[in-house]
Structure 1
Amino acid sequence: MNLYRSTNHRVFAGVLGGLAERFGWNVTLLRIIWILLTLSPFPGLVIYLILWLLLPEK
């Protein structure tokens, strides 16, 4: 599986853009879902930071 951080769809670190590019998802919809998950008890911010550290740039 080729996961990477996007250089094209980057707002902060490109994690969500890279996931959207890899799986063919809509990046805006993925960002909205991530915001909703982050505002809930789900640890969205921690997962984002871990992915930022682990995923290489494209």
Structure 2
Amino acid sequence: MEDNYKKLKRTNRSNKMICGVCGGIGQYLGMDPTVVRLLWLIFSIASFGTGLLVYLIAAIIIPEED
């Protein structure tokens, strides 16, 4: 059987700024990674830094693309 579903992966080269989490989410959702980064920044500020913790956990859990 073929796996015809999308897989969430961190970006390794293109659209990578820190760990590639936002670039990978942007690719997965079909959005511009800059928009994802801005939304993540707004979430981080509004949640008093919880977004940074979530980003670090995502950087550890989400595998990097080949």
Normalised to the residue count of structure 2, the TM-score between the two structures is 0.80
Report the AA paired with residue 5 of structure 1. Answer: R
Which stretches of structure 1, 4 residues or more, deviate above 6 A after TM superposition?
Answer: none
Q: 5+ residue gaps in structure 1? A: none
Cα displacement string for residues 39-58 of structure 1 (whole angstroms, at most 9, x for unaligned residues): 11261111101110001110
Structure 1 or 2, whichever has the larger Rg, is 2
Gaps of 5+ in 2: 1-5
Calculate the TM-score normalised by the size of structure 1: 0.90
User: Would you say how many aligned residue pairs link Structure 1 and Structure 2?
Assistant: 58
What does residue range 11-50 of structure 1 map to in structure 2 within 5 Å?
11-41=17-47, 43-50=50-57
